[in-house]
Each structure stands twice: as C-alpha cells, then as structure tokens.
Amino acid sequence: MSFAVVIASVAFVRLAGEGVPEQRLKAALLSKFPQFVEWPASAVSDRPTIDVCVATPDPFGHDLEELLTGEHVSDRPLALRHVTTMADVAGCHVLYLPALGSGRHPLLGAVANRPVLTVSDAPNFLDTGGMVVLRVVGGRLRFDIDAAATRHAGLRVSSQLLRLAVSVRGGVS
C-alpha cells in the first residue's frame, strides 16, 4: 500500500463514531509525514536516525512511540524524542508543537530557517511560521501546509502529500 493511501485513510477517518481518539489519529499522521519529506544532506548525513521530536506536554502518550517503532526513512529508523528547551531541538527532523493558547510556540523560533518540519494543531500555526497544521474539517482530521515555509527551510515535500492537504500556502513547486 502506498504511503499516500495510508495518509489519506488516516486523514479522512471520521472522528465521531469511529472509536479512534483524535490524538491517536494525529499521532498516526505525524508518524507518516517523514515518508513524504526530503531533507538536505547536511541534515541527515551525520545522523543515524530521523528524529521526530514532540514538545512537552506530549499529547500522544505511547501512541506515537508505538507507531514509529520499526518505521524507516531512507534506511534510517524513526526515533521519538521529547523536547523541552531550545537546546533540545538540535537534531530534530520533525518537531510537533502542541497548541499552547493563541501565541507563537517558543520552540518554533529555535528551528526557524533550519531543515525541520514543524507540525502543530494550533489554529494559527501557519500564521506564526509553522509548516503543517492539523485540524478537524467536517468531522475528519485533515491538514494544511505552508509550502513556502518548507522550501525556505530547505525541505522538499512530496507532491503526494501536498495533494492531500486541504490547502497549500505559498504555491507548489
């Protein structure tokens, strides 16, 4: 099964009545995003893993760790790391920032202009410099992408993932 099919099936599951908690669906989407991103060589050449980092408080419990176990991108295993400080984000390839009110998450600035895919469920995340925002649309978990922000950070996002987004800011390259 293609990764696009997996993402689409997760993204389009109706939240109400499916028996799958929203945070588990968010963890499932987050666990698949690395399959659709290409990092510059400098971001992966000296790293044994592709690090999926989650800022505390971690909303996923053990769900994300279970979903990442055994998964690989370009022969590198995916690894979960929890981050709390600006120094902790060094080496992150994906950074999930849980919604913290209406302001910009403090760790977002720590990865500005670095090849780190930033993801959140904060409603205004793209407006504050984030790259992917998870949101519920019509009772289904979906996402929006700021393609300009990903390109600015040196990331290449697969056209498959861009097609599945509800909206893509900054055009598709």
Domain that holds residue 71: 3-169
Name the E strands within the chain: 37-38, 50-55, 72-73, 76-83, 94-97, 117-120, 132-137, 140-146, 156-157, 167-169
User: Structural domain tally of the chain?
Assistant: 1
How far apart CA 105 and CA 123 sit, in angstroms, is: 12
> Angle 22-32/3-11 helices, nearest 10 degrees?
160
CATH number at residue 54: 3.40.50
Is 0.85 topped by the overall pTM? yes
Q: What is the pLDDT of residue 105?
A: 81
Say if CB 130 and CB 146 are below 8 A apart: yes
* Rounded Cα gap, residues 34 and 133, in angstroms: 15
From the first residue on, what is the mean pLDDT of each consecutive set of 10 residues in the chain (173 residues)?
51 54 92 96 92 94 95 94 94 92 79 95 93 92 96 95 94 63
Looking at residue 1, its pLDDT comes to 46
